[in-house]
């Protein structure tokens, strides 16, 4: 297997982590964080940049002002053909190097740095060996930086959010033994999700997750990602409007409330039922949905072709999840938690608590207990064991990787987390927060203390930063993109890369965002018709903002 050296500044460590996850199946990744061990020489390691088959340079303003990063560059460019194996990823704060006059700023920076360091080197020189070594590194940087910046600025460099895919393509073209195959994984995942709940299949799924680091994602922000993360045998719908299986999209028609199916090309459309419904999930050959007739929101299922319609209960149903052939739901009439088998038998009440914010993780249901001042609780899926997790008035509950994240209304809506075993509880911020999302090691939240702008912080509460200065709502994260409704721009649909780059408006419609399925964003468009009368249309638009079309 070929090797690749990742040269970066720690300001871009998040991107470097993701890069390593996604390319490691097809190339050996060499980087300080995962290669160096105790007592290794950092200088010797940096010189390895000349020995590896490929080099990725994550170029930022911080990178160009780092003595270690630029020393790696000074070593790399000693080889005549260094640029033939180098990939440049240029971040926004370094894009000024594309203008020749701005390149001189970095040359001046290092000249001044050398002067400052030289002035501080005073006799006896024997005690200044470290400073003299650093001065020699700066001399090497000054020799090479001009040609290096010219080479980078003369290259056609993809945007950071596109660069990883391009790097993989280049490596694959040079590596016939590549094992990276995301499509194969996806097909296997779909089979496990739709064909059954056999433990062997789940075990194989977990095993392959460990073998393919590219798919270790912390995000549980979309229902589909939540399902995959927790082995829930289910294809969840986007807010009850849209779901997809194979080449078919199943959706609720806003005009007549019936359920339709449509080929992904948008051409073939079939009406499946007359009485309508809000799609909950697709499992195997069955569509699970709730009737939308007021007061009779019962749970139903029907075959993918619309046949064999079966009413499963007579409760006003707020569905939670389908796990191991059980449907978990809240009865809206009394707020209690129930489960029922997917064929409508064996209905069981799990708890008499009035609950909300529920999710099923492993063998537990986590929920907000409205019967006990909105405290966090968990209960075994068979209802035999209940545990109170905190004494806080809680909302916006998210469970991820052994932690329960929540907004603490008892402490002015600050974000907290507590271990699922209750052994540790941590306050993460001091902002008045609402709507939290956990993704890729970060907590994203709406900061009501700062005009409902989106902030993010690491899951330990560190590195809190303003992520997006738009007042936004209905946020979701899929892959490398955050999708949101921009309240500062008349409820228009936007997306922004999770690294804070490439923000763009996707649509000029006034809409409600419902989710991303495949390459499409589905949303309810209130721009057409009388919105005061609830008159709207279901639309979709590609994730790059093209191909806008009505789904009705």
Task: Say yes or no: 161 and 196 in one domain.
Answer: no
- Long-range contacts formed by 439-443: CB under 8 A, 24+ apart: 439/217, 439/218, 439/219, 439/220, 439/221, 439/477, 439/498, 440/14, 440/18, 440/217, 440/218, 440/219, 440/477, 440/498, 441/14, 441/17, 441/218, 442/14, 442/498, 443/405, 443/415
User: 74 and 152 share a domain?
Assistant: yes
| 160 in any annotated domain | yes
pLDDT in tens, 345-388: 999 999 999 999 999 998 999 999 999 999 999 999 999 999 99
Average pLDDT across each block of 10 residues of the chain; the chain has 552 residues. List them in order.
Answer: 90 92 84 84 86 93 94 88 92 92 91 86 65 86 91 92 86 48 35 37 39 28 38 45 86 83 89 83 89 78 93 91 91 93 95 94 94 96 95 93 94 96 93 89 92 92 91 79 89 87 89 80 80 72 92 80
Question: Do 125 and 203 share a domain, yes or no?
Answer: no
**Are residues 197 and 73 located together in one domain of the fold?**
no
* Residue 165 in domain: yes
Rounded Cα distance, 296 and 318, in Å:
12
**266 occurs within a structural domain:** no
Same-domain status, 16 and 163: yes
Structure-block tokens of residue 31: 């980087």
User: Residue 476: its pLDDT value, please?
Assistant: 79
Report the alpha-carbon distance of residue 469 to residue 471 in Å, rounded: 7
Same domain, 29 and 161: yes
Q: Pick from 117, 150, 173: which residue ends a domain?
A: 173
Domain count, the chain: 3
Specify the pLDDT at position 229: 39
Query: How far apart are the C-alpha atoms of 98 and 94, rounded to whole Å?
Result: 9
**Domain boundary pick from 140, 173, 206:** 173
Residues 160 and 13 in one domain: yes
Asked if residues 1 and 177 have their Cβ atoms less than 8 Å apart, the reply is yes
Residue 166: inside a domain, yes or no? yes
Task: Give the end of a domain, one of 173, 195, 227.
Answer: 173
> Is there a contact between 466 and 444 (Cβ–Cβ < 8 Å)?
no
Same domain, 123 and 21: yes
For residue 295, what pLDDT is reported?
60
* The pLDDT of residue 223: 39
Q: Is residue 75 included in any domain, yes or no?
A: yes
Question: Residue 55 is part of which domain span?
Answer: 3-173
Whether 111 and 200 share a structural domain: no
Say if residues 229 and 264 touch (Cβ distance below 8 Å): no
Shared-domain flag, residues 29 and 159: yes
Are residues 72 and 168 both part of a single domain? yes
Structure tokens at 391: 């004494």
The answer as to whether 495 is a domain residue is yes
Give 415-468 pLDDT, tens digit per residue.
999 999 988 999 999 999 988 889 888 999 999 999 889 999 999 999 999 999
CA angle centred on 35, ends 76 and 442, rounded to 5°: 100
Q: What pTM, to 2 d.p., does this model score?
A: 0.60
59 lies in the same domain as 161: yes
Q: What is the pLDDT of residue 540?
A: 92
Residue 249 lies in a domain: no
Q: Where are the alpha helices (DSSP H) in 463-533?
A: none
């Amino acid at each position: 297997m070929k090797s690749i050296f990742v040269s970066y500044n720690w300001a871009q460590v998040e991107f470097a982590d993701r890069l390593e996850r996604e390319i490691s199946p097809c190339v050996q990744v060499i980087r300080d964080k995962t290669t160096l061990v105790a007592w290794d020489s950092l200088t010797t390691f940096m010189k390895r940049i000349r020995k590896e088959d490929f080099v990725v340079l994550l170029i930022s303003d911080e990178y160009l002002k780092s003595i270690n990063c630029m020393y790696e560059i000074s070593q790399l460019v000693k080889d005549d053909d260094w640029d033939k194996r180098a990939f440049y990823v240029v971040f926004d704060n370094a894009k000024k190097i594309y203008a020749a006059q701005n390149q001189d700023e970095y040359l001046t920076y290092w000249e001044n740095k050398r002067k400052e360091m030289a002035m501080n080197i005073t006799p006896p020189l024997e005690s200044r060996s470290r400073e003299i070594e650093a001065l020699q590194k700066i001399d090497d940087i000054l020799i090479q930086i001009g040609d290096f910046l010219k080479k980078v600025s003369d290259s056609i460099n993809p945007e950071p959010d596109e660069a990883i895919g391009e790097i993989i393509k280049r490596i694959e073209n040079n590596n016939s033994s590549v094992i990276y195959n995301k499509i194969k994984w996806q097909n296997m995942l779909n089979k496990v999700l739709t064909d059954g709940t056999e433990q062997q299949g789940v075990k194989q799924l977990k095993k392959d997750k460990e073998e393919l680091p590219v798919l270790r994602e912390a995000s549980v922000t979309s229902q589909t990602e939540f399902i995959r993360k927790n082995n829930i045998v289910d294809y969840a719908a986007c807010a009850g409007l849209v779901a997809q299986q194979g080449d078919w999209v199943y959706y609720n028609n806003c005009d007549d409330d019936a359920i339709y199916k449509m080929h992904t090309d948008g051409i073939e459309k079939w009406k499946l039922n007359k009485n309508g419904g809000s799609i909950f999930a697709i499992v195997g050959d069955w569509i699970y949905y709730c009737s939308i007739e007021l007061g009779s929101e019962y749970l139903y299922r029907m075959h993918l072709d619309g046949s064999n319609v079966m009413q499963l209960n007579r409760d006003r149903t707020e569905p939670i999840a389908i796990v191991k052939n059980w449907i978990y739901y809240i009865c809206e009439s009394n707020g209690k938690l129930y489960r029922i088998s997917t064929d409508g038998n064996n209905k069981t009440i799990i708890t008499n608590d009035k609950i909300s914010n529920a999710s099923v993780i492993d063998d537990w249901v986590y929920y907000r207990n409205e019967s006990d001042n909105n405290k966090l609780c968990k209960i075994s899926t068979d209802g035999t064991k209940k545990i109170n997790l905190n004494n806080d008035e809680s909302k916006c509950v998210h469970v991820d990787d052994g932690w329960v994240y929540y907004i603490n209304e008892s402490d002015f809506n600050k974000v907290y987390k507590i271990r699922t075993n209750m052994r540790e509880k941590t306050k993460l911020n001091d902002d008045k927060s609402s709507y939290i999302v956990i993704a890729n090691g970060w907590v994203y939240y709406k900061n009501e203390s700062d005009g409902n702008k989106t902030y993010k912080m690491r899951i330990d509460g560190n590195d809190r930063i303003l992520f997006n200065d738009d007042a936004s709502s209905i946020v979701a994260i899929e892959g490398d993109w955050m999708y949101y409704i921009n309240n500062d721009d008349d409820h228009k649909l936007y997306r922004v890369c999770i690294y804070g780059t490439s923000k763009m408006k996707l649509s000029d419609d006034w809409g409600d965002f419902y989710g991303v399925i495949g390459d499409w964003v589905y949303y309810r468009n209130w721009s057409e018709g009388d919105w005061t009368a609830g008159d709207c249309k279901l639309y979709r638009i590609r994730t790059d903002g093209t191909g806008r079309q009505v789904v009705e």
